[in-house]
Structure 1
Amino acid sequence: MSNRHPLKVGLTGGIGSGKSAAASLFAALGVDVVDSDVVARQVVEPGEAALDEIALRFGPEILLASGELNRRALREIIFNDPEQKRWLEALLHPLIRARTVQALDSSSSAYVILVSPLLFESGQDALVDTVVVVDVDEAHQLDRTSARDEVDARQVRSIMATQLAAEARRARADYLIDNRGDLGALESQVASLHRKLLALAQMREKGAE
């Protein structure tokens, strides 16, 4: 198998499900991880053409003194103006997709993971060969997110409402990780799934020969 075309694995789950913890465990096993949130930040860093276009449209006040994007100000603008949100998405989504594909294809590990909280909602599932869903119940989501982000349950539920329902997410999963337990339980499931994905990657390599 060429390193340019590794097995691509999507990793997703609702807010507070433990996607980042699972991704870190896969990374510790030597798996390359591409984070969609990181890519989304990269395309609007100083020096990127997209940031210049955003500043032209919304004015220099959309930038911080450091020259970086004022994300809070931009969020407020697009939250209150659907037309501006559509413009921003039309600018950024193709850039994010292209950079994500590039990162996935340049992986040198046996398989590569794309971590995306909105894998299905954004259509990024089309970029991967198989999907892993980290699944927890709503109570765990509320507790973990409230503790991590210091937000109340109402805010967490409003974010959950923008994401695919848990049942629908599970129905579209090729592999499920049940993260209702402790870190040890998560480590065990990741290790087991890692072996399965390595085998799948090897089968794919043989089929491509």
Structure 2
Amino acid sequence: MGLTGGIATGKSLVSSMFEQLGAFVIDADRVAREVVSKGSPVLKEIEKYFGKDVILPDGNLNRKKLREIIISDKEKRELLNSITHPAIIERENELVNQADSNLIIVDAALLIESGSHKRFKEIIVVYAPFEVQLKRLMERDKMSREDAERFIKTQMDIEEKKKYATYIIDNSDGIEYTRKQVKELYETFQT
């Protein structure tokens, strides 16, 4: 099953709630960090196309520099995705095959944008309205409103993502309300 949401919608919170209940959760962000680790073939490809500036002196990816490049350049963002996504999907598939749970969830922010959602019969979208996303992102990352809006707009609009959902978890009304929805959904998967 795929799980997605927009930045600052609470996707990671929901993912951890499912994990606490017993689901096997594969975090695509963690997998993405793994596939671009120091010396990896994917990191070498990134350096080839984005230059030495995106590599730190210790040989690791300079995420901040890369983010600055792709945040305002759609073509470069798509190029980066074309380099990283095949390796991420391959690693996720390996982890799915190793899983020992009857509920396996792949948690991925760009699940729909990458086309990866097509691999799943069911999609959970974690939802919070744009203004809630904006407020959370500004507080969490100490961003200006302008930067937060720009960052949110690099992803598919959350209202558009909802159209792909089999299930929607509304995370705009507090943790306990969210936990209740997660628990109810988890229980439906156990029957």
Q: Does 1:36 align with 2:16?
A: no
Q: Name the structure 1 match of 2:124.
A: 132
Q: Deviations over 1:76-98 (max 9, x none)?
A: 45567777655544332211121
Task: Identify if the C-alpha distance between structure 1 residues 31 and 87 changes in structure 2 by more than 3 Å, giving closer, same or farther.
Answer: same
> Structure 2 unaligned runs (5+)?
none
Structure 1 residues 164 and 96: CA distance shift in structure 2, 3 A: same
Identity across aligned pairs (percent)?
36
Closer, same or farther in 2 for the Cα pair 1:84/1:192, shift >3 Å?
closer
**1:139-183 superposed Cα distances (whole Å, 9 cap, x missing partner):** 211121111111122222212222223332222211111112111
Do structure 1's residue 112 and structure 2's residue 117 form an aligned pair?
no
How far the C-alpha of 1:23 sits from its partner, in A, is 0.6
Q: Distance in 1 between matches of 2:153 and 2:50?
A: 29
Structure 1: 5+ residue runs without aligned partners? 1-8, 200-209
- Structure 1 residues 66 and 140: alpha-carbon distance in aligned structure 2, compared to 1, 3 A threshold: same
- Which residue in 1 is equivalent to 2:166? 174
Instruction: Give a deviation string over 1:61-116, Cα, whole Å, max 9, x none.
Output: 54223221222333445567777655544332211121122222321111111111
CA distance in 2, matches of 1:33, 1:10: 10
Q: Which residue of the partner structure matches residue 187 of structure 1?
A: 179
Q: Partner of 1:12 in structure 2?
A: 4
Residue 133 (structure 2) aligned to one of 128, 134, 141: 141
Q: Does 1:91 align with 2:83?
A: yes
Q: 1:101, 1:127 within 8 Å by CA — same for their partners in 2?
A: no
Contact 1:19 1:134 in 2 (8 A): yes
Counterpart pick for 1:23 among 11, 15, 26: 15
Distance (Å, rounded) in 2 between the aligned partners of 1:159 and 1:58:
20
Amino acid at match of 1:144: R
| Separation in 1, partners of 2:149, 2:74 | 22
Instruction: Tell me which of 56, 63, 74 is aligned to 2:55.
Output: 63
CA spacing shift, 1:169–1:85, aligned 2, 3 Å: closer
1:5 is matched with none
What TM-score does the superposition give when structure 2 sets the normalisation length?
0.87
Q: How many corresponding residue pairs?
A: 191
SS at match of 1:97: helix
| Counterpart position of 1:164 | 156
Q: Hey, what's the Cα distance between the residues in 1 that align with 2:163 and 2:146?
A: 26
Query: Which moved further from structure 2: 153-162 or 118-127?
Result: 153-162
